[in-house]
Amino acid sequence: DTAVSQTPKYLVTQMGNDKSIKCEQNLGHDTMYWYKQDSKKFLKIMFSYNNKELIINETVPNRFSPKSPDKAHLNLHINSLELGDSAVYFCASSLGLATYEQYFGPGTRLTVT
Amino acid sequence: AQSVTQPDIHITVSEGASLELRCNYSYGATPYLFWYVQSPGQGLQLLLKYFSGDTLVQGIKGFEAEFKRSQSSFNLRKPSVHWSDAAEYFCAVGASDDYKLSFGAGTTVTVRA
């Protein structure tokens, strides 16, 4: 069983479109995260949720909106996609806020043309 | 805020040789330290972690790391590398006051036959 899953794995779209990436974890964790990995492989946290509550909201354009319908799911919606949004987006989860051991999904490679 | 430096961008090692990857962190208190590995096209997998106690920690795939407070370091080692160890390695630090993991820029390991 996949612990942290993301869909889709690849996403190719045009500038200006709106797209969503879904994430689900079956580990029973309370905390979930979104990271962006740029072309130089640098990982930067974007958001974290704990029990459906937004905890971390880094300096991310407000075109990015996370949504957590329940603590096992954290989706990322992106409006008006730009070329600079091209990256790999990783979802992760941890047992709780203060447990820093995070488990990562396989990533979604977003390409904006 | 905490930060992580991985001084080596790229390391090439022969199969069967030993490997050491360097990681230095900046944080005022005792940090939570992690090493993750990312194989091509994959998500991040946790290799090992240090929270407290014994400063030499064992991880999966034959890796170990040593926490040295005096040097603010958490270097990763493997006595004998296998071709399957070719990957990107990330050191990460968590601080107790902001619920975030900060990642280093990563070290790419190439294994030659």
Q: What does the DSSP assignment read for A16-83?
A: T--EEEEEEE-S--SEEEEEEE-TT--EEEEEEEETTEEEEE-S--TTEEEEEEETTEEEEEE-S--G
Q: Tell me which residue has tokens 């995260």.
A: A33
Residues of B in contact with A98 (CB under 8 A): 96, 99
On whether any CB of chain A is under 8 Å from the CB of B58, the answer is no
Cβ <8 Å between A48 and B100: yes
* Partner-chain residue, chosen from B32, B99, B103, that has the shortest CB–CB distance to A43: B103
A56-103 residue pLDDT tens: 888 889 999 999 999 999 999 999 999 999 999 999 999 988 888 999
Cβ <8 Å between A101 and B49: yes
Nearest to A98 by CA among B5, B101, B17: B101
On whether any CB of chain B is under 8 Å from the CB of A41, the answer is yes
On whether any CB of chain A is under 8 Å from the CB of B71, the answer is no
Nearest to A24 by CA among A57, A67, A71: A71
Distance from CA of B83 to the nearest CA of A (A): 21
On whether any CB of chain B is under 8 Å from the CB of A88, the answer is no
Rounded to 5°, the CA angle A96-A45-A38 comes to 145
Rounded Cα gap, residues B19 and B47, in angstroms: 14
**pLDDT at res. A97:** 83
Residues B89/B31, Cβ–Cβ less than 8 Å: no
Cα dihedral B71, B109, B48, B37 sign: positive
Cβ <8 Å between A104 and B96: no
B50-98 residue pLDDT tens: 998 899 999 999 999 999 999 999 999 999 999 999 999 999 998 877 7
